[in-house]
Amino acid sequence: MQNFIENSPTQLPSSPVKSAAIVPGERQEAPLNTLENFYYTEVEKFLAVKNPFILDLGCGGQSIFSSTYFAKQKIIAVDRDEGLIARAPKDHVTYYCMNVGEIIWQNRFDLALDSHLFHCLTETDERESFLFNIHRSLRPGAIFALETMAAHKGMKFSSDYYYAANKTLYQQSTMRPLRKILSAWEIEQSLLKYFDLLVFKIFVDNKFLLQGNGQEFLATEPDVLRIVCVKKSE
Ligand SMILES: C[S@@+](CC[C@H](N)C(=O)[O-])C[C@H]1O[C@@H](n2cnc3c(N)ncnc32)[C@H](O)[C@@H]1O
């Protein structure tokens, strides 16, 4: 059993592993991180075009689409952290330092992938404008995919954290909001205004890792929720 670690490579049992040399269009070798695993196992099969135009949301310092496999595709990756974007590799991915609340592209992308960003949006209006903007940025029939934290009754947090009744996880010492950990049902309801669901999956043996050493399975950590959905027509 394994945890899903934000920002860390994680080899999952079902990862597509290829030992051949990496060329454009060929999958990269293991280890894949959880988002790459998500893309290959759950998302790619729903893409209707051969070289989809992709928007990577909350890419951090390197988009998961920076591997050679995606070299022939148009990829835009955004993150609001200026320092991370400044350090991003110079490759086929176009990086923008941008708050997802300010995304104004319209009818452009075949896929928007939430790279563990949604659960960082701690305010209701932030999440609403995010979903509105993503819906508007997608072409008709395009896909929105997200792997995100979901709450469950057995969650427990160390004294470094405070999980409040409003479902916000705060840093205990500063009361800085860190994550919004909603139930799977609440996340589903927020999406249904803009998208129709194709995949809605919670893992039994995997959790997101916020605490611990990354090796042990902690049943008290948030659930991993994977959703793939298609844009509702406007
Ligand atoms: C949990 S990290 C994941 C980073 C990366 N995708 C990874 O898996 O290593 C979430 C990322 O979302 C970015 N982020 C959070 N809120 C954002 C916002 N409103 N607009 C743009 N980026 C945001 C953060 O700067 C951070 O890099």
- Residue 12 inside a domain? The answer is no
The number of folded domains in the chain is 1
pLDDT per residue as tens, the chain (234 positions): 344 555 433 333 333 333 333 455 555 555 678 999 999 999 999 999 989 999 999 999 999 999 988 999 999 999 999 999 999 999 999 999 999 999 999 999 999 999 999 999 999 999 999 999 999 999 999 999 999 999 999 999 999 999 999 999 999 999 999 999 999 999 999 999 999 999 999 987 888 988 766 666 688 999 999 999 999 987
Q: Are 130 and 99 in contact (CB under 8 A)?
A: no
- Residue 63 inside a domain? The answer is yes
The predicted pLDDT at position 33 comes to: 86
Q: Give the domain range for residue 39.
A: 18-152+182-231
Q: Are 39 and 64 in contact (CB under 8 A)?
A: yes
Ligand 1 pocket residue status of 52, Cβ below 6 Å = no
- Residue 42 inside a domain? The answer is yes
Nearest alpha carbon, ligand 1 atom 8: 7
Nearest alpha carbon, ligand 1 atom 25: 81
The predicted pLDDT at position 20 comes to: 35
- Residue 216 inside a domain? The answer is yes
- In 3-state terms, what secondary structure has residue 139? strand
The predicted pLDDT at position 218 comes to: 83
118 CA to centre of ligand 1 in angstroms: 8
Counting from 1 in the atom list of ligand 1, the atom nearest the Cα of 126 is 19
CATH assignment of the domain containing 130: 3.40.50.150
- Residue 167 inside a domain? The answer is no
- Residue 2 inside a domain? The answer is no
Ligand 1 mutation pick, 104, 116, 120, max ligand atoms within 8 A of CB: 120
- Residue 137 inside a domain? The answer is yes
CA 151 to mean position of chain CA atoms: 16
- Residue 139 inside a domain? The answer is yes
The predicted pLDDT at position 27 comes to: 55
Ligand 1 pocket residue status of 100, Cβ below 6 Å = yes
